[in-house]
Structure 1
Amino acid sequence: MNNHEIDYKIYGDDMQFVEVELDPDETVVAEAGSLMMMEDNIHMETIFGDGSGGGSGIMGKLFGAGKRMLTGESLFMTTFTNQGHDKRHVSFASPYPGKIVPMDLSEMGGKIICQKDAFLAAAKGVSVGVEFQRKMGAGFFGGEGFIMQKLEGDGMAFVHAGGTIHKKELASGEVLRVDTGCLVAMTSDVDYNIEMVKGVKTALFGGEGLFFATLRGPGTVWVQSLPFSRLASRVFAAAPQGGGSKDEGSVLGGVFRMFDGD
């Protein structure tokens, strides 16, 4: 194997974190800011790109960092290496309520395509790159634009998404239509396209948007029940506007808001 072999354990239900067990000289790569805790003798280092060794020299590192910038990620990633003589543990936390999904890339053809911001951590050697959508419709209306993340290698990677994550196996020719924001990840053999909602009334007043993603098998697809964009829009809608306060939806709350001038 080209990747470091790491063991792990996932804790929690809705606010999960993953604990990675490192043997001596083993390394895990994670998104900057995702660290929760780590034991003694673990050396932390900030690097350009993903540290997979795909590019050599300063230009290769800058190219790798530039690809990450296109997906909206930080230019830097953080490596955690066990420099002790015994097993050590390092933990990474989810950035918002949801689930952490472990993915063994060696069992998935060596490549996974996922939404931006989904990557949490991986064994050193996993390449975190860019996947350009070749179809114009998927690029313009797919919710993730032309650019998605791709994870390549033969090691373990950890992906995070909101709500509950459902894994679905698609048979050859089987079609699954999902909301564009609910798609978390898919194997590279899945055919991905965007389809417009049929019917003027449904498109304008259905509340589900104008487009949905069409996924055609064979392959594996991961779907989330609560995209972060949907959660953020609900929080923003419930937030007080103009510096006022929003109480619970009761009669007294409405009376008090009248006196407050809200």
Structure 2
Amino acid sequence: MTMDVIDYQVFGDDMQYVEVELDPGEAAVGEAGALYYMQDGIAMDTVFGDGSGRDDGVLGSLLGAGKRLLTGESVFTTVFANQSHGRRKVAFAAATPGKIVPVHLLELGGVLYAQKDSFLAGAKGVSLGLAWQKRIGTGLFGGEGLFFAKLTGPGRVWLQSLPLSRLADRIVAAAPRAGGESKEQGSLLGGLFSDKN
């Protein structure tokens, strides 16, 4: 399996985006809704599955889509291919505040287990699968869940450091409970989670 080796640069601080520069014929895959901008000459193609280019047939595609749903990802992936004669840029942004973490899978032995719904984009050819938490008690009570995203291939991927599921957990944990005698005296988030409503 071939991987596209692509240049990139991460911009921003708390609301980051990654700009990927594609040579003619190169492609990157992005999670549904992750596109920030792209230059003319980039063609978009929405595919069923992870966009790795493997031909697993209809049953394999359905199984792969089911795995993606369990890891919190969309069943569709968008492939961004440079069909021009020069270098072109496409950028991806996370939907939530946090950092974008670039990871070269080859440097980690070709396999990485990540928090579900943390995949943002990657080089075309990276496969996104499913890994099970082998100890059910750890999965249920350890706070990480039963499933992980399993990223395989020698290419580069960009992960969100704070996916939406974790951001929501942090907001709920940090929100003060409603204090005082009326809703106006407590905080907005505290009022949302108060038993007095």
* TM-score normalised by structure 1 residue count: 0.64
Q: What is the identity, as a one-letter code, of the residue corresponding to 1:115?
A: Q
Match of 1:159 in 2: 159
**How many Å apart are 1:83 and its aligned residue?**
0.4
The residue identity in structure 2 corresponding to 1:230 is: D
Structure number with the bigger relative contact order (C-alpha 8 A, sep ≥ 6) is 2
Residue 71 of structure 2 contacts residue 149 of structure 2 at CA under 8 Å; is this kept in 1? yes
Q: Shift in Å at residue 230 of structure 1?
A: 3.3
CA apart distance, 1:246: 6.3
Matched, 1:92 2:31: no
More strand by share: 1
Cα deviation, 1:111-165, whole Å, max 9, x if unaligned, reads: 1101111110000010011011112222222323221101100000001113xxx
Please give the secondary structure, in 1, of the residue aligned with 2:99.
Answer: strand
Counterpart for residue 25 of structure 1: 25
- Which residues in structure 2 correspond to 1:198-209 (within 5 Å)? none
Q: CA deviation at 1:228?
A: 1.3
How far 1:56 sits from its partner (Å)? 2.5
- Provide the C-alpha distance between the structure 2 equivalents of 1:238 and 1:19, rounded to a whole number of angstroms: 40
Contact 2:51 2:78 survives alignment (8 Å): no
Give the CA deviation at 1:236. 6.2
TM-score (normalised: structure 2):
0.84
Q: Is the 8 A contact 1:238 1:246 kept in 2?
A: no
Q: CA RMSD in A?
A: 2.5
CA separation in 2, counterparts of 1:75 and 1:235? 32
Asked whether the 8 Å contact 2:46–2:78 carries over to 1, the reply is yes
Per the TM alignment, residue 234 of structure 1 is displaced from its structure 2 partner at its CA by 5.1
Residues 144, 39 of structure 1: CA spacing in aligned structure 2 closer, same or farther, 3 A cutoff?
A: same
Of 134-143 and 11-20, more deviation after overlay is shown by: 134-143
- Verify: 1:145 aligned to 2:145, yes or no: yes
Q: Of residues 142, 167, 188 in structure 2, which corresponds to 1:228?
A: 167
CA distance in 2, matches of 1:111, 1:82: 27
CA distance in 2, matches of 1:42, 1:53: 18
In the alignment, which residue of structure 2 is the partner of 1:16? Answer: 16
5+ residue gaps in structure 2? 188-196
Percent of paired sites with the same residue: 50
Corresponding residue for 1:52? 52
- CA displacement at 1:238 relative to structure 2: 7.1
**C-alpha separation in 1, matches of 2:9 and 2:119:** 17
Q: What letter corresponds to residue 58 of structure 1 in structure 2?
A: V
Aligned pair count?
Answer: 184
- The secondary structure found in structure 2 opposite 1:131 is strand
Q: 8 Å contact 2:45–2:78 — kept in the other structure? A: yes
Secondary structure, counterpart of 2:69 in structure 1: helix
